[in-house]
Structure 1
Amino acid sequence: MTSRGSRQLSIAAAGLTVAAALSFASAQSPAPIPTITVPAGSAAIEQRVQGTRPAAALVASFDGLGAGFRGPQGMARFRNPSDNSLAVGPDHIVQTVNSRMAVFTKQGRRFDTTGIVLYGPVPTNNVFKGFGGACEARNNGDAVVRYEQLAERWLIVMPVFTRGAVRPDQPPLWTRTDHAYVSPPGRTDQPGPAARLFQPPPVAAPAGAAPGPSGGAGQRANPQPQGPYSMCYAISTSPDPLGTYYRYEFLRPLFPDYPRPAIWRDGYYVPTSTGDDRISDTIVTQKQACVVDRAKMLKGKRATEQCVIIENVNFLNNADIDGTALPPAGAPNVMMAAGGTQLDRIFEADSIDVWQFHVDWKDPSKTSVTGPQKIVVAPYHYLCDGQLSNCVPQPGTERRLDAQGDKIMARLVYRRIGAQASVVAVHSVNTSAGGGGVRWYEFRIDARRGVSLHQQGTFAPDAFFRWMASPAMDRFGNIGIGYSFGGTPNFVGQHFAARLASDPPGVLSLHEAVLAEGEAAQNAIRWEDYTQTAIDPSDDCTMWYVGDYLRKGAETYSTKIGAFRLPGCPATRR
């Protein structure tokens, strides 16, 4: 089914220019439709049929933040893209979309029903109310939430997109070096006493009420090049997301875009991109691989953030622990990126870049990032050449949706089962049928900390588009993946596929399940930017997932939150 070189499967004529594809400011403008190209060898690992096992059981689903959403704090307008993030605790579900957040019930010890709105919609920076500084003042978006089973805490990470005032302690422009930079604290007295999550008064629902103001003060603005940017962290003091939080702010010299926090035993790892414009004639992009001191933040003590600069690579993603089994003491965090670089128009690769990130909290000069190791995988071509491309067709409109095909998506999952340590990664690729597929990998980490490919596959059972995926691995080693599904004549919705640990390599053996059927087309090119899975800490096997869809007649997205159980996952709590 393959031939030498790239196989051209035309769905349109021209490729994207770098400027048209990568300018956030012009992200809503029409762009040429990329040609679907498939490198030789890519089709060999395509799964071109549905799994033969029954689909995973959908055991809960409800609408989250989005069009028409109403909660105790009324309604709100929601900016596109959604930047969906989801975390699940023992009794609660927390969702963020761009610059808004909400808290829901989860059936269990405290609540009889799942999906009741307890809090929201509110600006995400409500968690920084009373903290002062940029974290309290700004609410730009891209916030991400995590629940860590290890300490039973909630973590909210929020970047600030605009520069603050000039200050004497602001960091200079960081350059690539052999050591880590220490981010200056944004507040001299941080974190201060733990502060309760701000509770705006409930809002009545008058007949015909319109949504409230949109969240945030602009997105990816063009600020004056003066003061620093900020990265904001809030860590709860208990498993109750409505309780108290320690808050931290750290200063950055460049815009800390697209954070994707990961929980590790020695820190919270947060990679960011500094934006999509060239920094110099030789530096295409600068990625900041950062980590904050988890142990001190959990105790509300003064903590530091360290960052290592990596240039001319794709968006980074750090391994995020599923479950409670820890990596060995001293084990470096594993960090990955897709090969190639979109800004250099290198859309194809046959490897995944892997780094090992070791932090030394006592001596930052000993903090190191080793790599990249290039792990050979089946060749791939970024879906529609990467991010901000006119990619996925929709019925009834010429507007196509962005694929974000240049990057490994959140989360990069780490799971330890006995002596076995796995890392699961996903990204979106062109398929031989002319659509888009979910490329997925399971890597293994050996006793000497070496990383190698264990299995790989591309889920592409037809010529439609599956993209913007997010994976999880349960305590049995089963893998589940949620993703967007679309392509004319289908409006975009959300699907879920999975495999059991005992299945043959490279196959998602469970038939595709449907979380949400799309009912309308979106008139903006940006779609989600990312979504998220979460493992339920109550049984360590139920897989939660959130994604966008449009209701009939709607002009903007709704979100659907759902929980799936695979065979062997008990229906009762542990």
Structure 2
Amino acid sequence: MQKSNYRSKFAAFGAGVALLASAVGQAVAQESTAAGDTEWQQAGAFQMMVRKPVQFDRTGERMDALIAKMPKRAANATPAASREIPNKFTTGVPLAPQAPLASDFVDPMLSEPTLFTPIGGVSVAGPSSDDNAAVVGGRIAPPDISGDVGREFVVAYANLVWSYYDKQGNLVGGPFPGNSFWSGFGGRCETDNSGDPITIYDHLADRWVVSQFAVSEAPFLQCFAISDTNDPAGPYTRYAYEIVPGDFNDYPKIGLWSDGAGQSAYHATFRQFANGQTFAGIDAVAFDRDAMLAGDPNAQFVVVRINTNAVPDGIQPAHIDGGPTAPAGSCGLYGAALNNNNNDGYLFWEFCTDWNNPANSTFDAKPLLTDGVPNWASSGQVPQPAPGDALDDLDNFTMYRFSTRFFPGQGMKGVMAHTVEAGNTTAGMRWATFDLDNPDAITLDDTGTLGQNDGIHRWMGAATFDQVGNIGIGYTAASESLFPSVRFTGRETTDPAGTLQTEGVCVDGTGVQTGVSRWGDYSTTAVDPVDQCTFWTFQEYVELTGTFQWSTRVCSFRFASCTGEEPPPPPPANVAPVADAGADLTVPRRSSGTLDGTGSVDSDGTIVSYSWVSSSRTVNISNPTSPTPSFTTRNVRRDTPVTVTLTVTDDDGATSTDTVVVTVLR
């Protein structure tokens, strides 16, 4: 999100879940007296800075203990005012003006989908705006949904809450406040719940890495929590970094990179705002991964300023998603799509770290890749059904993640996705795969545009590989007649070049967003580290019409051609209970009797509540929540039939009703 100083106004949301700085048990915060360089040093064509964390601890406490230490929000507390985070992305200077699009423009890479469709799996509700309201005490837009899948669990982290699930889609924990990872840490990582979260499962270390910024005031911080095991409930090693003194570290994007030796880092990019106000540049940052995993309180990081005009914007660090490490000696990569009128292409950078002497690290820009890259055009905003407002599609940004994978016999491959004009003024996703084996000679393997010339806009996509090289893409879809929904597609290696398969539906939206144009600034698609075949995507949609009423969804899908371990089947749909209010009754006036709902059943669970309602005071039910309540009758002048309705609710919230007629004789 482009928050500049705006995000600091959301610190009030964190106040409801904040702790005073403290050191409890094993959670002893260590303040660094010297965070490293505070001035830029020239390093080749770029400026560089080497720094250390400003705060560190290792806590032996798990999430339940951390949550228990956080102040509980009072049930009658006044909610914080709902706020839209302004779109401040357009801070750069374009290289050339964009010519207006013809109304009949069609992207040259748009193609008809193949007849196949990826196999859908789990589809479960992720964190929502309602969760923010209940847990944090306020609502914001957009959600910035991030997630990943580990060996046992799936984590979904959105502004300003997170939850985790098993692989059948069952909720295991949450929703929790986003800053719960830093409970007891002290400082603003603990007290600020600022958002812009990133979730990574480091499959090479079998640990979770989560991060969000703390930006209520300077110094602006980036907070990290690294789990001790593959359990996202912790315990954690925790860090606070001030990336560049005085700069607001906006829009953090983080990726895992390792060659199994010296090139081990969590690479990141940030859009920096001097004093939280003025755009200063886009920075590439390498954090010493091995030191962080080892719990080194002085784990260093190297900052390089890539540009100062946001051209290109939305630069993404490469992320190794599944599979082995990169080949020995392979340095971390960064990439971005550059929309430059008639010279569109992809830019790449190589970041080689030297953790023995970080100041010797190097950062190298590669030539613009245009060979085989058809030009694309900007798309604009996305419409919704009435009364929804037009939505931002962030077509000037490369989407998170720039996923990479090493394929034996083929080398290092990468995939990117970004929003373009697909055709007839509709947004679509341009995807591209690359051969990254030689960073000095990166080539385009394949590319295409996701769109079906059907008036549906498809945007905010995220793509990655499975173990055989198939590509999975999750994204949002909407139009003037389609509520914002979550869909998925992809391609198998045997599909014709430039094509994608027929899309599948994760969840159909049932409402629209009103009064707010901002849509999630990013989403995530990841591959399961166990079977190496199942894709998990984390996306935004709308379930209930409203201004701050977004929802998120966690979905899985796969291709039949990937022959890893069979993924878990989706959870069966809940079967509603069957209410049975018993046989009709005939009773005298001024008498008593008993109703009988014990014949009610739930075939796939249990009935958790009963509710009896009489249509007349002639029959007065004394204990209406019992399966066998008693009742009394009043005096009547003629025979009077009274309808009594029984409603039963099962353990999944489904309901059923039945009626019984009680005839009161005069």
1:129 and 2:183 matched: yes
Tell me the residue number matched to 1:323: 322
Offset of 1:493 from its aligned partner?
Answer: 0.5
Match of 2:435 among 441, 444, 460: 444
Tell me the residue number matched to 1:332: 331
CA–CA distance in structure 1, aligned partners of residues 142 and 457 of structure 2: 19
CA–CA distance in structure 1, aligned partners of residues 136 and 358 of structure 2: 45
* Other structure's SS at 2:248 match: coil
Tell me the residue number matched to 1:268: 266
Offset of 1:500 from its aligned partner?
Answer: 0.5
* Other structure's SS at 2:487 match: strand
- Contact 2:132–2:138 (Cα < 8 Å) also in 1: no
Match of 2:405 among 403, 412, 415: 415
1:350 and 2:354 matched: no
Tell me the residue number matched to 1:294: 289
1:57 and 2:119 matched: yes
CA–CA distance in structure 1, aligned partners of residues 215 and 341 of structure 2: 28
- Contact 1:495–1:513 (Cα < 8 Å) also in 2: yes
CA–CA distance in structure 2, aligned partners of residues 573 and 550 of structure 1: 28
Letter of the 2:525 counterpart: T
- Contact 1:440–1:456 (Cα < 8 Å) also in 2: yes
Match of 1:504 among 493, 496, 504: 496
Q: TM-score, normalised by structure 2?
A: 0.65
Match of 1:433 among 419, 424, 439: 424
- Contact 1:355–1:373 (Cα < 8 Å) also in 2: no
Percentage of identical aligned residues: 29
* Other structure's SS at 1:295 match: helix
CA–CA distance in structure 1, aligned partners of residues 126 and 148 of structure 2: 13
Tell me the residue number matched to 1:569: 562
Letter of the 2:118 counterpart: A
Tell me the residue number matched to 2:110: 46
* Other structure's SS at 2:179 match: helix
Match of 1:404 among 391, 394, 398: 394
**Aligned positions of 1:77-156 closer than 5 A:** 77-106=138-167, 114-156=168-210
Root-mean-square deviation over aligned CA pairs: 3.2
Offset of 1:44 from its aligned partner?
Answer: 2.1
CA–CA distance in structure 2, aligned partners of residues 393 and 273 of structure 1: 28
**Aligned positions of 1:127-206 closer than 5 A:** 127-164=181-218
CA–CA distance in structure 2, aligned partners of residues 39 and 499 of structure 1: 29
Alignment CA distance shift 1:486-1:149 (3 Å): same
- Contact 1:395–1:491 (Cα < 8 Å) also in 2: yes
Cα distance per residue 1:437-468 (max 9 Å; x no partner): 11000010235753111111111212321111
- Contact 1:147–1:153 (Cα < 8 Å) also in 2: yes
Match of 1:517 among 508, 513, 516: 508
Which one scores higher on RCO, CA 8 angstroms, separation ≥ 6?
1
* Other structure's SS at 1:126 match: helix
Letter of the 1:560 counterpart: R
CA–CA distance in structure 2, aligned partners of residues 62 and 318 of structure 1: 29
Alignment CA distance shift 1:353-1:276 (3 Å): farther
Alignment CA distance shift 1:486-1:66 (3 Å): same
Deviates more, 1:556-565 or 1:268-277: 268-277
CA–CA distance in structure 1, aligned partners of residues 268 and 229 of structure 2: 22
Alignment CA distance shift 1:117-1:26 (3 Å): closer
The gaps in structure 2 that reach 5 residues or longer are 8-82, 88-97, 259-263, 569-666
Q: TM-score, normalised by structure 1?
A: 0.75
CA–CA distance in structure 1, aligned partners of residues 337 and 182 of structure 2: 34
CA–CA distance in structure 1, aligned partners of residues 205 and 130 of structure 2: 35
- Contact 2:492–2:561 (Cα < 8 Å) also in 1: no
Match of 2:374 among 357, 373, 378: 378
User: How many positions carry a matched residue from both structures?
Assistant: 466
CA–CA distance in structure 1, aligned partners of residues 289 and 86 of structure 2: 38
Alignment CA distance shift 1:63-1:398 (3 Å): closer
- Contact 1:39–1:348 (Cα < 8 Å) also in 2: no
Alignment CA distance shift 1:480-1:363 (3 Å): same
The gaps in structure 1 that reach 5 residues or longer are 1-18, 107-113, 165-227, 341-345, 385-390
Offset of 1:373 from its aligned partner?
Answer: 2.0
**Aligned positions of 1:214-233 closer than 5 A:** 228-233=219-224
- Contact 1:292–1:306 (Cα < 8 Å) also in 2: yes
Letter of the 2:350 counterpart: Q
Alignment CA distance shift 1:403-1:349 (3 Å): farther
- Contact 1:348–1:381 (Cα < 8 Å) also in 2: no
* Other structure's SS at 1:142 match: coil
CA–CA distance in structure 1, aligned partners of residues 225 and 6 of structure 2: 30
Letter of the 2:123 counterpart: S
CA–CA distance in structure 1, aligned partners of residues 149 and 474 of structure 2: 16
Tell me the residue number matched to 2:531: 539
Alignment CA distance shift 1:42-1:366 (3 Å): farther
Offset of 1:41 from its aligned partner?
Answer: 10
Offset of 1:323 from its aligned partner?
Answer: 1.2
CA–CA distance in structure 2, aligned partners of residues 530 and 475 of structure 1: 24
Alignment CA distance shift 1:279-1:132 (3 Å): closer
* Other structure's SS at 1:392 match: coil
Letter of the 1:79 counterpart: I
Match of 1:256 among 249, 252, 259: 249
Letter of the 2:270 counterpart: T
Cα distance per residue 1:494-517 (max 9 Å; x no partner): 111110012222111x21101111
Match of 1:487 among 479, 485, 488: 479
Alignment CA distance shift 1:326-1:557 (3 Å): same
- Contact 2:248–2:276 (Cα < 8 Å) also in 1: no
Computing the radius of gyration over CA atoms, which structure comes out larger, 1 or 2? Answer: 2
Offset of 1:162 from its aligned partner?
Answer: 2.9
CA–CA distance in structure 2, aligned partners of residues 135 and 158 of structure 1: 8
CA–CA distance in structure 1, aligned partners of residues 139 and 302 of structure 2: 33
